[in-house]
Structure 1
Amino acid sequence: MSKDIWRSQGLRAIVSISSAIAISYYIYLNHVMEFSDRVKKENGEEHVVLNRTNVTHIILWWNQPIWVAPFEKKCGNCITSTNRGDFNKSSAVVFSLADGNMGTKPPIENIKRNQNQIWVAFSLETNVQNSWIRDYKNKHWKYVFNWTWNYRPSADIFMPYGRVSERLKPLSKNYSMIFQRKNKFAAWAVSHCNAHSLRDKFVKKMNMCLQKQSIDIFGKCGPLRISKSRLPTLLNNDYKFYLAFENAFCDDYVTEKIFANYNNDIIIVVRGKANYTNIFPKGSFINTKDFRTISDLVRFLNEVSENETLYSNYLIQKDKFQAWGKLKEQYKQSICDICRNLNDPYLKKKTIFDAEEELGQCIKPNDI
């Protein structure tokens, strides 16, 4: 074989090896770049507000609920406003579905909107409670919202009525003493009578099944009266059960009733459409859904009320956790979540078809 042939083959080998190295390096570099992008995306939420403090985002309440007025008005580089004159320079505009005054049409045609502006559909009430409001159900409000802000975990801005977290150290109590001091069966505080959930009829049937015991009803829907500040003490000292029955059977709808009383020395009985075990630890509450009939439920409650071990086990499990139910804190967290999203350069804008659908399905219960 001539030297020229050897030289030619050697060059081809060198070129092949060089090409292989170049391709491998390209693939490696591409993976590095992709990984770097992922890291930026994952860390972006933590640092983006700090890195963009020269930008001020206005979150405009188009029709702010009255109860929101005294709450936090800023988070990071974001501030809230109720001045509609800020509309054009606002990064986000929040429309409260439950408060009306939205108008039958959006304030501006969709085609003329600032396409960088985010429109948010807010509601802590269900479609049942909002049934008297027609504004957001109008066809003109379809395809205009970008984010949802409500009590559902699927919302873009999730604002529950409360949260539950595990205690670093479970509480230690004299559970026998707690059981012994309880001299009353169950309490129910309610002011929304004849609710969509038929809870009034449910409680009436429970009372009919009870023989030696009874459910004491406080508030506008019952004969008993007590101040809101005194109720926790009464529940702690006297009652074995507290009924946290929702006014509507709607997806993920869990209101303050259970969060406000979860930390008390009492067993909570829940009734609603939500999946309660996704929120509260199993064995820390009693769900009416777990019983075939109201009679079966009452029979079980009687059994627990008379058995110190059974009763104490519920309290012991519950005392491993703590509930947080201040709406002020939930609101503050939501404003910060909105601000974090507004500062996220990787967040893709979306369009929501129907704000009414996003609040989930409500049904008439079938347990009466």
Structure 2
Amino acid sequence: MDICKPQGLRVIGFIGSVVAITYFSFFYHIFQSSDQIRTAILEEFVDLKSSNVTHIILWWNRPAWLATYERKCGNCITATNRGIFHKSSAVVFSLADRGMGTKPPIKDNKRNQNQIWIAFSLETNVQNSRIRDYRNQHWKNVFNWTWNYRPSADIFMPSGRVSKRLKPLSKDYSMIFQRKNKFAAWAVSHCNAHSLRDKFVTQMNMYLQNGSIDIFGKCGRFKISKSELSSLLNYDYKFYLAFENAFCDDYVTEKIFANYNNDVINVVRGRANYTEIFSKDSFINTKDFRNTSDLVRFMIEVSENETLYSNVLIQKDKFQAWGRLGEQYKNSLCDICRKLNDPFLEKKTIIDAEDELGQCIKPNDV
């Protein structure tokens, strides 16, 4: 009995090995076959981009300002003719513009299930308050992708981008500091905004004794062109107020991007996480101060100290802002095209397009 046990164990071990090898061979061929299928699909994806297949991206209610922008990327073209609705690979509905209608143009059970519906908006729910269409119950659970200013969007379209310079700029920062003879400038044409920025600037001016904030645009007493303003900021002003018109999640407009490359320190005010976009020490954020008085006191200190002022500019000049709206739109259009060409295209259902634009609040420091 003692001799037979090892032999029996060897037999059992042999049979187990055969079974294991058989299963391994079986699953190996399955996995190998799966990899071959995936490779074939990816090869088809590559061929598709150079084939005669054309994806139509239909603007259901295109914003007027997009009329002159790029209309093609790769094998994708944009259109506005609603007559080709059923032939379109994607349909874009602009939440901030009229023409959406109180309900979708077609019932869900008659819809082409391969067609992608996109909710587009570069404005917040605050700015869109006059447009009520997309808030209608009929527009819930119909969109597949979002296209907006939030990084979480399926198609992310910021007002600008910042990238690190390959070679830092070489400037005479002492000369820049010495030539600045004005405190701060603010260009604004949307008065009495939801963010209460008008009241905040009024408070700031109350604490300024040896200087003031010069206001340009419809809400101020100085009228000037964009090019003239850029020149003034570059040579005369120490600070520029890049204050948003609404306190909404991730909402950053062109204000700071447009003046980032100038020799001026930007003071930001909004609800975005600015340090995720810009280098930490390259700007001043109003939320980092207990009150307006502390903010102004710090700005005065920086404005009178060459080392402090220059250090902010030096940090800022390690980066550069780029991207006009037309360029950002072209990038977004190409992102859509890449997604439409992807054989593993992700199609989901957006429960509520209003929620996807994020939360907006009233500031509590004014």
What TM-score results when the alignment is normalised by the length of structure 1? 0.93
CA contact (8 A) 2:48 2:341 kept: no
CA contact (8 A) 1:256 1:325 kept: no
Tell me how far 1:33 sits from its aligned partner.
6.2
Are positions 1:76 and 2:64 aligned together?
no
Are positions 1:287 and 2:285 aligned together?
yes
SS of the aligned residue for 1:99 comes to coil
Aligned partners of 1:243, 1:9: CA distance in 2, in Å?
82
Aligned partners of 1:257, 1:134: CA distance in 2, in Å?
27
Which of residues 156, 159, 162 is equivalent to 1:158? 156
Aligned partners of 2:10, 2:197: CA distance in 1, in Å?
88
SS of the aligned residue for 1:217 comes to strand
Aligned partners of 2:271, 2:207: CA distance in 1, in Å?
23
Aligned partners of 1:37, 1:296: CA distance in 2, in Å?
64
Aligned partners of 1:196, 1:174: CA distance in 2, in Å?
40
Are positions 1:308 and 2:306 aligned together?
yes
CA contact (8 A) 2:58 2:80 kept: yes
Show the 5 A alignment for 1:1-368. Answer: 14-26=14-26, 36=35, 48=45, 50-52=47-49, 53-368=51-366
What residue identity is the alignment partner of 2:196?
Answer: L
Aligned partners of 1:322, 1:279: CA distance in 2, in Å?
12
Per-residue Cα deviation, 1:135-175 (whole angstroms, up to 9, x for no partner): 11111111111100000001000000011111111111111
Aligned partners of 1:161, 1:40: CA distance in 2, in Å?
37
Per-residue Cα deviation, 1:241-288 (whole angstroms, up to 9, x for no partner): 000000000000000000000010000000001110011110000000
CA contact (8 A) 2:119 2:145 kept: yes
CA contact (8 A) 2:56 2:87 kept: yes
Report the CA distance shift for 1:264/1:40 in structure 2 as closer, same or farther (over 3 A).
farther
Report the CA distance shift for 1:177/1:11 in structure 2 as closer, same or farther (over 3 A).
same
What residue identity is the alignment partner of 1:17?
Answer: S
SS of the aligned residue for 1:229 comes to helix
SS of the aligned residue for 1:98 comes to coil
Aligned-pair Cα RMSD in Å: 2.5
Tell me how far 1:86 sits from its aligned partner.
1.0
Report the CA distance shift for 1:192/1:85 in structure 2 as closer, same or farther (over 3 A).
same
Tell me how far 1:111 sits from its aligned partner.
1.4
Per-residue Cα deviation, 1:175-224 (whole angstroms, up to 9, x for no partner): 10100000000000000000000000000000000010100000000011
Aligned partners of 1:268, 1:48: CA distance in 2, in Å?
45
What TM-score results when the alignment is normalised by the length of structure 2? 0.93
Report the CA distance shift for 1:243/1:38 in structure 2 as closer, same or farther (over 3 A).
farther
Where structure 2 has 5 or more consecutive residues not aligned to the other structure, the ranges are: none
SS of the aligned residue for 2:120 comes to strand
SS of the aligned residue for 1:334 comes to helix
What residue identity is the alignment partner of 2:48?
Answer: N
CA contact (8 A) 1:164 1:279 kept: yes
Moved more, 190-199 or 338-347: 338-347
SS of the aligned residue for 2:321 comes to strand
Moved more, 322-331 or 252-261: 322-331
SS of the aligned residue for 1:131 comes to helix
Report the CA distance shift for 1:196/1:9 in structure 2 as closer, same or farther (over 3 A).
closer
| Moved segments of 4+, more than 2 Å | 6-34, 36-41, 46-54
SS of the aligned residue for 1:111 comes to helix
Tell me how far 1:32 sits from its aligned partner.
5.6
Tell me how far 1:344 sits from its aligned partner.
1.0
Tell me how far 1:25 sits from its aligned partner.
3.9
Tell me how far 1:349 sits from its aligned partner.
1.3
Tell me how far 1:14 sits from its aligned partner.
4.9
Tell me how far 1:55 sits from its aligned partner.
1.3
Aligned partners of 1:298, 1:40: CA distance in 2, in Å?
60
Aligned partners of 2:360, 2:268: CA distance in 1, in Å?
17
Aligned partners of 1:303, 1:33: CA distance in 2, in Å?
68
Where structure 1 has 5 or more consecutive residues not aligned to the other structure, the ranges are: none
Aligned partners of 1:200, 1:12: CA distance in 2, in Å?
85
CA contact (8 A) 2:195 2:362 kept: yes
Tell me how far 1:330 sits from its aligned partner.
0.4
What residue identity is the alignment partner of 1:19?
Answer: V
Aligned partners of 2:349, 2:267: CA distance in 1, in Å?
39
Report the CA distance shift for 1:240/1:10 in structure 2 as closer, same or farther (over 3 A).
closer
